[in-house]
Structure 1
Amino acid sequence: MAAEKQSSMAETESYPPIDPTNFDLIVVGTGLPESIIAAAASTSGKTVLHLDPNPFYGSHYSSLSLQDLTSLLQSNSENPKPNLPQSDDTTTLDINPRPIYSDVEIASYDGSVEEHSRKFNLDLAGPRVLFCADLSVDLLLKSTANQYVEFKNIDASYVGDANGNLTNVPDSKSAVFKDKTLKYSEKNQLNSFFKLVQGHLEAVKSVGLDVAVDDGKIISEEDLESPFVVFLDKMKLPPKIKSIILYAIAMVDHDQDTGESCKNILKTKDGIDRLALYHSSVGRFPNALGALIYPFYGQGELPQAFCRRAAVKGCLYVLRMPVISLLMNKDSGNYKGVKLVSGQELTSNKLVMEPSLTIAKFPSESVQSVSNKLARGICIANTSLKPDISNCLVIYPPRSLYPDQATSIRVLQLGSNLAVCPSGMFVFYISVVCDNAIEGKKALHAAIDGLFTSNDQSDSEEMKPTLLWSALYIQDLIEGSVVGPVFTMPTPDGNLNYNDLLDETAKVFKKMYPEEEFFPEISNTDSSDKLEDDSEAVLDS
């Protein structure tokens, strides 16, 4: 009995005590939404404690070495639950980890990959990019977190098919006319459509929706509320052009030609907004050739940038610190604080948690629902898909790889010039929205078969990259939840960019602090000049 007591004391003494013990906000998990909340609250003058049971930043948005990624995907560890006393006026509710990854398949075809494990920075939530004009870039600039991360542009975007063909995605008028895969008539049709969309956006911006409707200068309200695919058919765009617009520019997930059976039909007004984002991203930065950029050292740099911003504003950070239970007031039943694995009790007015933590016996409305699943793949190969192209995006539209492919498959290729892998290797991220693991794995394997060859295949496929290593897994898509002062954030979604996640994060912050501005401007004078100057500094030259 004495030996057990000594062992328990040794465990708790290995964790340093935290001082102070009361905070306005405690945040558990350093994923991107949690890190943004911590930075925003710290900027607003709140006292914030940011905890993470992991020894690294980023949580489910992290970029890890090959070995660390493998260990994380394969592990299903639980937080230790030491038997610790609690105060008389407090009751506790256990906080338990839950796995959000399943059906993990890891395969190595070349031992040299493991030899360079520490030279990889592999995204757990890939593929991800930032549009030069999207919310994430605007937020980096507004919060000044851009000071802690640098970007490089994605060289090209392609639409792929089952025959291994990769067609350029024309993202501007000049790119359309330079494209050798489009017929002259297709170029005219695509440019005419882009001109129509641009005219619509300019008319609405300059004179307002009502006036523009009266003048007949914009797309009608009836068309704006109709499915985007119907509007594209009305414009008499050929299937090839329509597919590029829907799946490679508007980035739609589900097959839009299935009519009412489609899970998520994109309306024309939303399709126009997505085209506007894409085209406004082209040329925003002088040293970015296209619409898309990616951070050096991986997507895990983004949550770290906001953590650094929060630390500058006074946020306290403690890694390797599991939270084991919620503290509730015995009399009122209200949230009071958290208990750490060390046994220390901390109090706060509000609590934010990452999505892989659940609270036992918490109110039923707090249960987060699994809305869908994502099939994700990370592949390492020896060459690029295209000569002289290090970083590119490939979209496989629905039914492009096999007849019952219901959703788009996205592939992001990254090279060593982004410091995510050793020289002479390339990393490929693959993702697809799915209903179950069987459907998701079928899509991943179809993409892999189309992209790569293996060492035992014939010389006829020697132009394809050779697959050296792969990790395939299924991720649950979990929605966020709110119960009183306790907020649980959602998992990484299936989108290529962060817009939806950032929008949800901003809404959570406004619920928490309705009187506070979400990252106020740095100053009232010359703030626009400051943002313009910083815009040029976002990209690495």
Structure 2
Amino acid sequence: MTDLPPYPPLDPTTFDLIIVGTGVPSSILAAAASSSGSSSVLHLDPNPFYGSHFASLSLPDLTSFLNSNSLSPPPHPSNTHDFLLSVDLVNRSLYSVEISTFEPDILGQHSRTFSVDLCGPRAVFCADESINLMLKSGSNNYVELKSVDASFVGDSSGELRNVPDSRGAIFKDKGLTLLEKNQLMKFFKLVQTHLASSLTEHDETAVKVSEEDMESPFVEFLSKMRLPPKIKLYNSPSELLFLYQMSLQMIRLLILVCRIILYGIALLDHDQDNKETCGHVLKTKEGIDRLALYITSIGRFSNALGALMYPIYGQGELPQAFCRRAAVKGCIYVLRMPVTSLLLDKASVRLASGQEIFSQKLVLDQCVTVGLESLSPLTDQQKETIRVLVPNEISSKEKIARGICIIRGSVRADISNALVVYPPKSLFPEQLTAVRVLQLGNGLAVCPSDMHVLYFSTVCDNDDQGKAALLSAMSTLIREQVPENLQTDSIVENDTAVTKPVVLWRALYVQELVKGEFGGDISSTSSPDGNLNYNEIVESTVKLYEQLMGSGELFKEETSQENTAEEDDGDDVIED
């Protein structure tokens, strides 16, 4: 930043809302506040790119960002004045990072052609709230999404079982037995009938899941729905043997079907069979809602074959789309501009340029906190004003372990873009949470044509636990480079792992989970969570907006003519 020319002073110097950080939550807030027509918004970012911790970066930029955010930098020099009470702001360390490069020459030639996500693996359901907000705000005109080709449930043996996304897909799936197809189709029919009946509340003949079942654990409801029908009493040994064999088959079926539904479709993190270690036991009502999201996503858009989509050029396109929409509505953007301190006596902030900007409402990025040495002279009331910026040691200790692998080849020769889920205990007995893997290829403009990018993630309590799960999933899907002096014809010929794609570059990093919080004059946004989609982030952002701006509508419906007049040239790629 010292090499850049100084910024000219901002004019005006007073805004209704100042937002620091251009991640997904911040960008939605900026677009919504700007679209309201009643608020002037200044949107700042200390980085030279949009997206903050939701950005998509080249390999050199990704490495630099991870390393710089794994160490807490010293606080900015405090420019205090006798008549002002200044509180210094510093960046909180969010990551612990390990990066390995196996073929530096090859990667060096293509390093700038990669667009790698910081918050992966992540995709969007065609019917989820982030898509609805994009359609409502007009941000969809600035981003193009493509369908994720397939989803699988994997295990330690390397087998990948297809996750069928509809009753038709179940019928065509050659990997499922007839009994498995019948049970899955029966369950899909039940969910679809229940959802349809919810729209006809006065129809007493409609099939619905009972209120008692809706409040029960989802895993118990699944077990109940997969029980075999009542069988008459068997007397002969042959009939008893048949019953025993059928019971074993039903148990195997129950385990497989439950794994597909719980972790491949509902996309749960924790082991639902172990209530002692499960971080969140899902109720049937929430489970049905998750299945409804999956089912209603299928076929919503003509350019998405399945339930999931991914933005071309990476997840960083989503916050940029909302930022561009905000700019159209009058929001002012300044990159490479950190906020160095709060001036509590004047309801203002001091920028790195030295200029003071005034606003009664301030929303900061999740990594921004206060220098502890600044707290001592404050009164209790002043400390309460900035409480959302003070690290809370008692808050949730849950973390997210993430991994990125650049590979030569594909985990499935016939598929480029795919989601793979490893349910709890599927990789090793001590695995407490699911591991999700998203493979993306050149068709999404994120890597060269002969390579793929793999994203891994799992929620965890500590670094060692998370990394162990990620490394186990990596060893199941890919293989590391073998030095040439160790390769022999016999090794290559007999090694079954030779068919696995080869890893060229790998990063492992454990991220702290920071919840956003409303604090009146000063609020903060959430860090990337461990979910595949953005629904929880959107939900918390909508709540924060309502607290900041009142209970008004997040985005006013806008006519297609208005959108067409204001947007850049280009084809709409998401149409409701």
TM-score of the aligned structures, taking structure 1 as reference length: 0.91
Query: Which structure 2 residues correspond to residues 337-356 of structure 1 after superposition, within 5 A?
Result: 337-356=348-367
Instruction: Report the alpha carbon displacement of residue 83 of structure 1 after superposing the two structures with TM.
Output: 4.9
The alignment status of 1:282 with 2:298, answered yes or no, reads yes
Asked if the contact 2:21–2:45 (Cα under 8 Å) also holds between the matched residues in 1, the reply is: yes
Which residue of structure 2 aligns with residue 311 of structure 1? 327
Q: Among residues 25, 45, 48, which one is paired with 1:33 in the alignment?
A: 25
Of residues 150, 159, 162, the one that matches 1:165 is: 159
Deviation at 1:282, TM superposition (A): 0.7
8 Å Cα contact 1:108-1:470 kept in structure 2:
yes
The residue identity in structure 1 corresponding to 2:360 is N
- 1:516 deviates by 3.0
* Post-superposition offset of 1:217: 2.3
Kindly provide the amino acid, as one letter, of the partner of residue 52 in structure 1: D
Identity among equivalent positions (%) equals 55
| Cross-structure match for 1:218 | 208
CA shift for structure 1 position 14: 2.2
**Whole-Å separation in 2 of the counterparts to 1:446 and 1:35:** 36
Matched, 1:486 2:522: yes
Question: Match of 2:417?
Answer: 391
Cα contact 2:80–2:86 (8 A) shared by 1: no
Change (3 A) 1:241 1:13: closer
| Residue equivalent to 1:538 | 573
Unaligned regions of 5+ residues in structure 2, if any?
228-253, 376-382, 566-570
**Which residue matches 2:94?**
100
Instruction: Give the alignment partner of residue 13 of structure 2, picking from 8, 12, 21.
Output: 21
* Partner Cα separation in structure 2 for residue 224 and residue 526 of structure 1: 44
Q: How far apart in 1 are the matches of 2:275 and 2:407? A: 38
Residue 415 (structure 1) aligned to one of 407, 426, 441 = 441
Whether the 8 Å contact between 2:114 and 2:448 is mirrored in structure 1 is yes
The residue type equivalent to 2:542 in the other structure is: A
What is the 5 A alignment of 1:68-79? 68-75=61-68, 76=71, 78=73
Matches for 1:398-477 after TM superposition, within 5 Å = 398-456=424-482, 458-459=491-492, 460-477=496-513
Count of residues in Structure 1 that have an aligned counterpart in Structure 2: 514
Report the equivalent of 1:7.
none
- Stretches of structure 1 that go unaligned for 5 or more consecutive residues are 1-9, 330-334, 531-535
CA shift in 2, pair 1:403/1:80, >3 Å: closer
- Please give the alpha-carbon distance, in whole angstroms, between the structure 1 residues aligned to 2:295 and 2:551: 35
- 1:124 matched residue in structure 2: 118
Contact 2:75 2:89 survives alignment (8 Å): no
Q: How far did residue 236 of structure 1 move?
A: 1.7
Moved over 6 A (4+): 10-13, 525-528
Give the letter aligned to residue 68 of structure 1. D
1:62-118 Cα shifts (integer Å, max 9, x gaps): 0000001111111236377245354x653111111111011x111111121132110
| Cα separation, partners in 2 of 1:378 and 1:11, compared to 1, 3 Å | closer
Opposite residue 181 of structure 1, the aligned amino acid is G
The answer to whether the aligner puts 1:233 opposite 2:223 as a matched pair is: yes
Q: Who wins on radius of gyration, i.e. which is larger?
A: 2
Report if the CA contact (8 A) 2:277-2:432 is conserved.
no
In structure 1, the residue matched to 2:232 is: none
CA change 1:193–1:316 in 2 (3 A) is same
Contact 1:135 1:502 in 2 (8 A): yes
Name the residue aligned to 2:182: 188
d(CA) in 1 for partners of 2:369 and 2:520? 15
Contact preservation (8 Å) 1:169, 1:244:
yes
Correspondent of 1:204 among 198, 215, 230: 198
AA of the residue aligned to 2:368: L
Q: Which structure shows the higher strand fraction? A: 1
Q: How many angstroms does 1:387 deviate by?
A: 1.6
